[in-house]
Amino acid sequence: METFMKLEKQVVSLELAIKLKEAGIKEESLFAYYGNAGTWHDAVVSMDMYTTVDEEFKEHKLLPAYTSCELAELLPSALERTATWLTITRQWKKGSWKIAYVPDDGEPNATHYGPIEADTLADAMAKMLLHLKEKELLPFIIKDPPKPA
């Protein structure tokens, strides 16, 4: 029996990491995929490890392998323009995660975003970020969010 969760289950998949980079999502993560000449390795390294290894490895390019916690920091808890709130649900029988923004008034026919489902929480969050970016509901995630006055 496993006593810990594998890192691959805690970070976004390589496919979604590439899409997040292409979408211009802020590139800050504790972990990264690495590669060069347009080829990414489906292996995750820690940024601490990357900064302490030999020069040959440092020639690789890095692609953020966001954790679910890092992605949660980018997802807003509510979408003010649509009066919806973030909900995260674990589908135990399927072994998957669902993320949606649902109306705060409980109106079943109101506009909402999702649900988006994925095998890992990080992938579900990444898919939601990409969906909200596509709908132009997250203009701030390309750069730092505005600082409070």
Q: Which residues pair with 88 in a beta bridge?
A: 99
Q: How many helices and strands (H and E) does the chain possess? A: 6, 7
- Whether this prediction's pTM lies above 0.95 is answered by no
- Where are the alpha helices (H) located in 2-145, listed in sequence order? 7-10, 14-22, 47-52, 55-58, 68-74, 121-134
| pLDDT for res 141 | 46
Mean pLDDT over 62-67 rounds to 90
Condensed to tens digits (0 to 9), the pLDDT of residues 21-51 reads: 999 888 889 998 888 767 887 778 787 766 5
| pLDDT for res 54 | 55
| pLDDT for res 130 | 94
Q: Residue 142's pLDDT band (boundaries 50, 70, 90)?
A: very low
Q: Which residues pair with 31 in a beta bridge?
A: 46
If one compares 112 and 72, the residue with the highest pLDDT of the two is: 72
For residue 16, which of 89, 85, 119, 107 has the smallest C-alpha distance?
119
Cis peptide before 115 (omega within 30 of 0): yes
Mean pLDDT over 100-108 rounds to 73
| pLDDT for res 70 | 94
Q: Which two tokens stand for residue 120?
A: 């890992």
| pLDDT for res 56 | 57
If one compares 139 and 27, the residue with the highest pLDDT of the two is: 27
For residues 75 and 71, what is the distance between their CA atoms, to the nearest angstrom? 6
- β-pairing, 61-64 with 78-79? unpaired
| pLDDT for res 61 | 79
Task: Give the number of other Cβ atoms within 10 Å of residue 43's Cβ.
Answer: 13
If one compares 80 and 56, the residue with the highest pLDDT of the two is: 80
Task: Give the number of other Cβ atoms within 10 Å of residue 90's Cβ.
Answer: 10
